[in-house]
Structure 1
Amino acid sequence: MEKEYIVAKDGSGDFTKVQAAIDAVACGNDQPVTIRIKKGVYKEVVTIPAEKSFIKLVGEDREETVITYDNYAGMLDANGEKIGTFRSPSVFIDGSNVTASNLTFENTFFQPGFDAMGRQAVALSTTGEGNTFINCSFKGYQDTLYAQSGSCYFLNCYLEGDVDYIFGAAHAVFENCQLHSLDRGSKTENGYVTAASTKASDAYGFLFINCTLTADETMAPNSVYLGRPWHPSMRMEPVCAATVFMHCELGAHIREDGWTNMHDAYPETERLYEYENTGAGCQINEKRRQLTAKEVQHCTKQGVLGW
């Protein structure tokens, strides 16, 4: 019989904190464990370690079941050192075959400004293999979702932010998702949806299928890039960012040139493509390269993720 725990802030379940329920799961477990989370705002940093897999996080209601925190890259730790982007997530999922549904993952830290250092604040970081997110929300500003490594699938999810709010080197498929860009108040540069750091040796990176790209009502048209390539300074092997937007509806906020550089990494030398997109933000020009029908044959969940 599948083991099940209930988390409820009012004390009516087995635990009042999400992390306490995860701590109760045995290391090396090979059978599914379901953690049902009642409505409430759970302000805590949550970690599913690599040695714990097959965990199901099931929220009672997506909008009313929220795991949140407000750590950020420029925050100082006990030693007076900045914690950096990689220690800022509200939730770390390092285990594999983890499924989350009907939940909101959030980082509430906000610092205005276009070039403000240290404002990176991750809502969720995932590194495991075979992780799935269904009907979940990911809310933040800069670096909201860190699909760091491994493989992950997002179905019917909502993701919002302003700068690089979907980033990392994972094999990740986003299907029927809403990607919502928040207004930074610029007339021309309001941010970037993606910042893939795919290994050059990997055939695939991020794939967006049947997604809708929206923006705040105040957003200036032609002011948000689809993405830019991220080559981490501490990378251990060559990087060649891979991102495809396929059958997506692009709002008027998407820039006509589509992609831009990050430092010395330029779109022309990366794998940044589109295929049969629609909407006011859809353009076909030399800056926005299109795949052919033959080239997209493997642009499927199974093709990218292998499962």
Structure 2
Amino acid sequence: MSPHGTRTTRGAAALSAPLLALALATPAQAATTVTVAADGSGDYTTVQAAIAAVSSGSTIKIKPGTYRGQVSIPAGKPGLVLQGTSGNSADVVITGSTPASTAGTEGSATVLNKAKDTSVTGLTMANTYAAHDSQALALYAGGDRQVYRNVRMLGYQDTFLSWGGTGGSQVRQYVYKSYIEGAVDFIYGNGALVVDSTTIQSLDRGSSNNGYITAAATHSSNPYGILITRSTLKGPSAAKTVALGRCWHAGGAADAIGQVLVRDSTLGGHVRQAGAWQDMGGFSWKTCRFTEHNNSGSGVTTGTSDRPQMSASTAANHTAQKYLAGSDGWNPVQ
């Protein structure tokens, strides 16, 4: 007995005429292309309505406008393409203002993407929660092989989460030619995440501690965590007040040995010279795997013991392709 009961195979000839007509008239839903427009000129007025209506592998084109409220892409709809139609990511804005303190981490995310093989281009994902006393995600990326090109992610605390669940399970995401902004742990998680050719903007908290760019919780069994490469780290903060990251042992897990490499990037003067990597939750930053390689700019220094530099020979195995290859050889790198 299967979970759904005994199944009997019958040919088309055994169907009654009405049932046969219905079977022939309702083939499996095919992937399609639909348009979302807030002004009613498309197929749908909200992004969520379009996601609910289309099948896996479909393309959702989004016209310029502001779209309020959470957008959720479930794991059961892989391969969706969300594409802003103007090519200017500032023209298409998906926005919310929900904090995790009232809705939980997933509930706070303006875009909650659990599906694999998703491609998102040419739009903004923003969480405008202004109290700055809670997590408030712009994007929760919880699916494997996701690509984000020419997007803006705007938030303050915990803007962008790459999360594959507890243990050694790991998802992969590639962010290319985009813009990410925040102040506290605003690129974080345990995924294999590559941020490539992107502007990373640290917001000014008006403090001698102007926050932390990353908070990695990479499982000890995974060699690759967060890679920032060919990017520009900037911000209006006072000089030497922003940390590159801190060591997040999610839930106090001893095996969350975060891995972050910042390489081939330009670091602004807001980056701390000493103390660029910080402790967190009672765990020393030295329990994590934090390094730099071949960076430039006024935020660079190689003269302190707390700015570990990766050797050229080791860096050869820490490319964007290596971070994302996994067991299937996935390579979206441009």
TM-score with structure 2 setting the length: 0.84
Aligned to 1:243: 260
Cα deviation, residue 84, structure 1: 2.7
Aligned to 1:198: 218
Aligned to 2:33: 4
2-structure distance, mates of 1:176, 1:228 = 22
1:178 aligns with 2:199: yes
1-structure distance, mates of 2:61, 2:284 = 44
1-structure distance, mates of 2:282, 2:188 = 17
1-structure distance, mates of 2:116, 2:78 = 5
Aligned to 2:45: 16
1:273-297 CA-partner distances (Å, limit 9, x unpaired): 0001110000112101011011011
1-structure distance, mates of 2:323, 2:123 = 25
Aligned to 1:287: 306
Cα deviation, residue 74, structure 1: 2.0
2-structure distance, mates of 1:263, 1:45 = 30
Cα deviation, residue 40, structure 1: 0.4
Aligned to 2:73: 48
Cα deviation, residue 86, structure 1: 3.5
Q: Which has the larger radius of gyration?
A: 2
Counterparts in 2 of 1:1-307, with a 5 A limit?
Answer: 3-26=32-55, 29=56, 32-60=57-85, 61-75=88-102, 83-112=103-132, 116=133, 119-149=134-164, 150-186=171-207, 188-216=208-236, 219-233=237-251, 235=253, 238-257=255-274, 258-284=276-302, 285-306=304-325, 307=330
1:146-181 CA-partner distances (Å, limit 9, x unpaired): 111210000001000000010101100011000000
2-structure distance, mates of 1:298, 1:130 = 20
Greater relative contact order (Cα < 8 A, sep 6+): 1
Aligned AA (2:181): E
2-structure distance, mates of 1:275, 1:302 = 16
Aligned to 1:79: none
Cα deviation, residue 85, structure 1: 2.8
Aligned AA (1:296): A
Answer with 135-144 or 257-266: which moved more.
257-266
Percent of aligned pairs with the same residue?
A: 37
Q: Which runs of 5+ in 1 are unaligned?
A: 76-82
2-structure distance, mates of 1:74, 1:3 = 38
- Select the structure that is richer in helix: 2
TM-score with structure 1 setting the length: 0.91
2-structure distance, mates of 1:241, 1:170 = 10
Aligned AA (1:250): L
1:26-48 CA-partner distances (Å, limit 9, x unpaired): 3xx3xx31100000010021110
Question: Could you say if the C-alpha distance between residues 86 and 262 of structure 1 is closer, same or farther in structure 2, counting changes exceeding 3 Å?
Answer: farther
Aligned AA (2:81): K
Aligned AA (1:265): F
Contact 2:106 2:112 in 1 (8 A): no
1-structure distance, mates of 2:54, 2:318 = 36
Aligned AA (1:176): S
2-structure distance, mates of 1:84, 1:24 = 27
Tell me the matched-pair count: 287
